[in-house]
């Protein structure tokens, strides 16, 4: 089987179970695979918006500190290989194929047990990622939640730090139609006595985060109180800010654009600092600076052509649209714009 044949099978041919609320299937699949998700020092990231960027920045900081680092993202933008990375790089097609074969051999056995036992696409791919990371002997990693948190397939890990970026309205048919209900689902990734880092969210959502952390006896670090950014300067492709949290850093440069990305970067940095403290890793300021300055996240107010200037953004909900509008007003004020909406 080739890489393209694998993708065709995954998308079109492989039996896929119902997307049901619960972790029983993914836990059974991972058990059959001898628990490849164990043994890594992981940061788990949930949130309505910003979780992909935050995951990428945490991953970059871990990698810049010399750790063999796993990264799991969803969905992908242009290629399936974006979902599973090690030290910022795609893994080879043969590595993915081998992981596919290993997972599929057990998934087929589960398929035979009936419709409700069949792993879903996301459960299958999550298991593939953990097999890849286990085979490549990754030491640490940043794992992005697919949807929600409580019943997400990634919620089978035992993280060192749980991170929640923002909480707003999205996927309301699945997660609930109030901020409190959505926050409850996101907070499902919080583990007992495991530190929680929370980005910028509305008060109704933060109340749920605080209650969840308290009931789990989990130390809580919230943007705007335990950590924050200041002296923000926004320039396309070269943004700057000061960070105040577990440590202080002045004049950090960030490649990602938008005031919201400053908040995401601050959340990622605080999460990394908590991670480093938990695992006994010495923090290298220059490594942090390199990670934030060079991080790339496609489709986030991304400049794909400079002359003429072409910018692409994947905003898909109200919060994302507001952030996009602010970016346009900040970076493109006074320009004649042609807007194409897909």
Residues 117-176: tens digit of each pLDDT: 999 999 999 999 999 999 999 999 999 999 999 999 999 999 999 999 999 888 888 899
Over residues 192-219, the mean pLDDT reads 97
Which of these, 31, 56, 20, lies nearest to 152 by C-alpha position?
Answer: 20
* 229 burial via Cβ count (<10 Å: 0-12, 13-18, 19+): buried
Residues 70-96: tens digit of each pLDDT: 999 999 999 999 999 999 999 999 999
Residue 20 has pLDDT above 90, yes or no: no
What element of type H or E holds 309?
A: strand 309-312
* 210 burial via Cβ count (<10 Å: 0-12, 13-18, 19+): middle
Phi and psi (nearest 5°) for 6?
A: -60, -45
- The confidence score (pLDDT) of residue 17 equals 66
Over residues 8-25, the mean pLDDT reads 85
Residues 37-77: tens digit of each pLDDT: 999 999 999 999 999 999 999 999 999 999 999 999 999 99
Q: Look up residue 192 and give its two tokens.
A: 């007992």
Q: Look up residue 327 and give its two tokens.
A: 């970016």
Q: Residue 183 and residue 190: Cα distance in Å, rounded?
A: 11
Give the CATH architecture of domain 33-91+136-295.
Answer: 3-Layer(aba) Sandwich (3.40)
Residue 227 has pLDDT above 90, yes or no: yes
Q: Residue 185 and residue 35: Cα distance in Å, rounded?
A: 24
Residues 304-318: tens digit of each pLDDT: 999 999 999 988 888
Tokens 């998934």: give the residue: 107
- The confidence score (pLDDT) of residue 18 equals 67
Q: How many helices (H) and strands (E) does the chain have?
A: 11, 13
Domain ranges (residues) in the chain = 33-91+136-295
pTM over cut 0.85: yes
Residue 334 has pLDDT above 90, yes or no: no
- The confidence score (pLDDT) of residue 156 equals 99
The mean predicted confidence, pLDDT, of the chain is 96
Residues 268-316: tens digit of each pLDDT: 999 999 999 999 999 999 999 999 999 999 999 999 999 999 999 988 8
């Amino acid at each position: 089987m080739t890489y393209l044949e694998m993708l065709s099978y995954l998308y079109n041919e492989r039996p896929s179970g119902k997307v049901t609320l619960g972790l029983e299937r993914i836990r059974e699949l991972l058990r059959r695979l001898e628990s490849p998700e164990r043994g890594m020092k992981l940061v788990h990231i949930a949130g309505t918006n910003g979780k992909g960027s935050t995951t990428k920045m945490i991953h970059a900081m871990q990698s810049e500190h010399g750790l063999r680092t796993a990264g799991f993202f969803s969905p992908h933008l242009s290629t399936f290989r974006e979902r599973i990375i090690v030290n910022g790089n795609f893994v080879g097609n043969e590595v993915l194929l081998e992981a596919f074969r290993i997972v599929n051999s057990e998934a087929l056995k589960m398929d035979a047990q009936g419709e409700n036992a069949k792993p879903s696409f996301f459960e299958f791919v999550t298991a593939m990622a953990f097999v890849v990371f286990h085979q490549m002997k990754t030491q640490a990693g940043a794992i992005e939640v697919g949807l929600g948190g409580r019943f997400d397939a990634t919620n089978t890990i035992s993280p060192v730090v749980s991170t929640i970026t923002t909480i707003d309205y999205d996927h309301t048919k699945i997660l609930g139609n109030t901020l409190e209900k959505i926050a409850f689902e996101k907070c499902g990734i919080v583990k007992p006595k495991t530190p929680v880092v929370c980005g910028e969210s509305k008060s109704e959502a933060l109340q749920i985060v605080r209650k969840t952390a308290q009931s789990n006896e989990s130390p809580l670090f919230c943007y705007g109180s335990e950590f924050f950014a200041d002296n923000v300067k926004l320039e396309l492709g070269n943004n700057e800010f000061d960070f105040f949290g577990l440590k202080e850093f002045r004049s950090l440069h960030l490649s990602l654009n938008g005031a919201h990305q400053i908040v995401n970067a601050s959340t990622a940095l605080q999460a990394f600092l908590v991670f480093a403290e938990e695992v006994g890793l010495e923090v290298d300021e220059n490594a942090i600076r390199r990670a934030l300055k060079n991080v790339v996240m496609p489709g986030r107010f991304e400049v794909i052509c400079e002359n003429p200037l072409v910018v692409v953004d994947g905003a898909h909900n109200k919060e994302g649209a507001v952030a996009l509008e602010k970016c346009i007003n900040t970076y493109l004020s006074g320009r004649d714009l042609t807007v194409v909406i897909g």
